[in-house]
Amino acid sequence: MSKKRKNYPSPVEVINDYGADALRLYLINSLVCVVRPCISRKEFIVLLVSFFNYYMLAYVSIKFYLI
């Protein structure tokens, strides 16, 4: 759904048709309220190092292929 394209139902219409509790339940269960677990500093560094290693492997492989 896009705010720009206005392809969403009006909240006022939803409240009038189904009630405020249905709207609250929908918003709580929607992807807007999904909470991702926070990663620790150590996990972030491991993720960063693994990404860097993957990047370097791809870079070296492409450079070797082009030679």
pLDDT band at residue 34 using 50, 70 and 90 as cut-offs? low
For tokens 């009038």, the residue is 16
Q: What is the pLDDT of residues 48-60, one digit of tens each?
A: 999 999 988 888 8
pLDDT value, residue 35: 64
Distances in Å between the alpha carbon of 21 and those of 8, 13, 48?
18, 13, 43
Joined tokens for residue 40 = 């620790």
Nearest to 18 by CA among 7, 6, 31, 27: 27
